[in-house]
Amino acid sequence: MDEVLLRSLIPGVLTVLVRRGADFAAGEDAVQDALVEALGAWPADPPRDPRGWLITVAWRKFLDATRADAARRRREDREGGLPEPGPAPAADDTLKLYFLCAHPALTPSSAVALTLRAVGGLTTRQIARAYLVPEATMAQRISRAKRTVSGVRLDRPGDVATVLRVLYLVFNEGYSGDVDLSAEAIRLTRQMAAAIDHPEVAGLLALMLLHHARRAARTAADGSLVPLAEQDRGRWDTHAIAEGVVILQAALARDRLGEYQAQAAIAALHADAFTAEETDWVQIVEWYDELAGLTDSPVVLLNRAVAVGEADGPRAGLAALAGLDPALPRWTAVSAHLHERDGDLDTAARLYAEAARKATNLAERDHLTRQAARLHVRLDVHRRRSDQK
C-alpha cells in the first residue's frame, strides 16, 4: 500500500467533509478514524477509488459520531443515503487547512501536531512516536488544539509566515519513530507551493531540498556527525540540489527577498562547491548580511561569524564573535572552532569540552567531545616532542 499516496488524500477528504457541513473538529476526527481503518483494510483489500473510499468511510464515521444530534439525523433521513463525493477539492481549500492548523493562537507544538494529522495525514500514534510522547498525550494535545481553533472560520487566508515556521519545525525533527519527518515536511511544503504562488514558500522548499540533499553525508556509519567541510560531497543528492536551485532561482527572480530564500541561497552556495576549499565564503558573508537585515535572530550573526572566519581569517571571525552574547547556543563551539583555526589549540580544546557540556543534543555533544579529544591527542604529541628536545 502506498502510504504517502494515502496521506496526500487526507486534506482533500477533510475539506469535502467541511464543505458538506461538518465542523472542522468533528470532521477531522472522522477523517482520522477513516485513515486508521484504511491502514488496516487496504493492504488486504485495496479500493479501486481510494479517495472515494475515504470520503464515504469518513462521512459515515462523522454521521455515526453525530448521530445523537437529532436535527442532523432528520436532515440525513430527508436527504437519504450518502452524498456524492463531489469534485476534487480546490487547492485553495487545502491551503485554508494549512492556515487553520498553523493558526497563531496555537502553541508551536500544537500547531505541528495538528498540521501533521489534518494536513499530513499521519495517525496520532505515528505523531506520538515521532515526538516520543505517549499516544494519549498526543491525542489530548491535538484535541486541545482543535478546541483552540474551533471558532476560526475556514474562509479567510492566514499568514504564510506562521505556516512556514510550522513546516520548518517539522523539517528539523528529522527522522524519528517510523516517520521521516523531514521528507514529510518537504511533501507538505511542496503541496503548499503548488497551492500558493509565494516566493518564501518556494524559498523554504528550496532550503529544505538543499539541506535534505546532504543528509546521507551528514552522519558517518557509526552515527557520528560529519561537519560540512568534511562531508563526502559525492554522497550529496544531486537531483535534490538541482531541484532546489531551480526553485530558488525562480523565487529570487521575483525580487521579493525573504529569510528562507536568503538561507536557501547560502545552502546553494555550499552545494555549488565541489570541495570545501572551493566554497565562495565572501558571497556567503554577503548573504548573511542580507539575512541579518531580514531577521533579528542572533543565530544568523553567529553563523555569519563562522563565514567571516572562513572569508577573512579566524581573527576576523573571532572579532565578529566578540560582539555576540556568549550565552547563545553554539557560541562556545564556534569560538572553539575559530581558536583552532587560529592555531590556539589549548584554548580550542578547553572550549570544545565546555561546548560539549552545553550541547543540547547527543550527536552534537559526542561530536564536540571528539573534537576536544582530537586536539588533546595533538597537544600531547606536541608536548612529547618538545620534552624530547
Partner 1 sequence: MAKYLLLKHYRGAPAAVNDVPMDRWTPEEISAHIQYMQDFAARLEKTGEFVDGQALAPEGTFVRYDGEGRPPVTDGPFAETKDLIAGWMIIDVDTYERAVELAGELSAAPGAGGRPIHEWLELRPFLTEPPAAITE
Nearer to partner 1, 92 or 232 (CB): 232
Segment 223 to 242, residues that bind partner 1, using CB under 8 A: 223-224
β-bridge mates for residue 180, sequence order: 175
- Spatial distance between the Cα atoms of 173 and 116, rounded to a whole number of angstroms: 12
- Spatial distance between the Cα atoms of 278 and 271, rounded to a whole number of angstroms: 10
Least separation in angstroms between CB 370 and partner 1 = 4
The window from 44-52, 54-62, 340-348, 350-358 that contacts partner 1 (CB under 8 A) reads 350-358
Nearer to partner 1, 9 or 349 (CB): 349
The window from 114-122, 186-194, 245-253, 367-375 that contacts partner 1 (CB under 8 A) reads 367-375
Tell me whether residue 386 is exposed, middle or buried, using C-beta atoms within 10 angstroms of its C-beta: 0 to 12, 13 to 18, 19 or more: exposed
The window from 41-49, 98-106, 240-248, 362-370 that contacts partner 1 (CB under 8 A) reads 362-370
Q: Is 376 among the residues that bind partner 1 (CB under 8 A)?
A: yes
- The grid cell for 6 is 494515502
- The grid cell for 123 is 495517525
Q: Is 1 among the residues that bind partner 1 (CB under 8 A)?
A: no
From 12, 260, 28, 27, select the one nearest 160 (Cα to Cα).
260
Out of 275, 360, 386, 388, the residue judged to bind partner 1 by CB under 8 A = 360
β-bridge mates for residue 175, sequence order: 180
Q: Is 327 among the residues that bind partner 1 (CB under 8 A)?
A: no
Nearer to partner 1, 95 or 336 (CB): 336
- Spatial distance between the Cα atoms of 301 and 305, rounded to a whole number of angstroms: 6
Least separation in angstroms between CB 107 and partner 1 = 20
- Spatial distance between the Cα atoms of 254 and 178, rounded to a whole number of angstroms: 38
Out of 78, 362, 386, 387, the residue judged to bind partner 1 by CB under 8 A = 362
Least separation in angstroms between CB 380 and partner 1 = 9
Out of 377, 384, 385, 386, the residue judged to bind partner 1 by CB under 8 A = 377
Q: Is 130 among the residues that bind partner 1 (CB under 8 A)?
A: no
Q: Is 378 among the residues that bind partner 1 (CB under 8 A)?
A: no
From 124, 130, 242, select the one nearest 183 (Cα to Cα).
130
- Spatial distance between the Cα atoms of 183 and 34, rounded to a whole number of angstroms: 23
How many residues make contact with partner 1 (CB under 8 A)? Answer: 21
Q: Is 178 among the residues that bind partner 1 (CB under 8 A)?
A: no
What b/e string do you get for 168-207 counting C-beta neighbours within 10 Å, with b at 16 or more? Answer: bbbbebeeebebbbbbbbbbbbbbbbebbebbbbbbbbbb
Q: Which residues bind partner 1 (CB under 8 A)?
A: 222-224, 349, 352-353, 356-360, 362, 365-366, 369-370, 372-374, 376-377
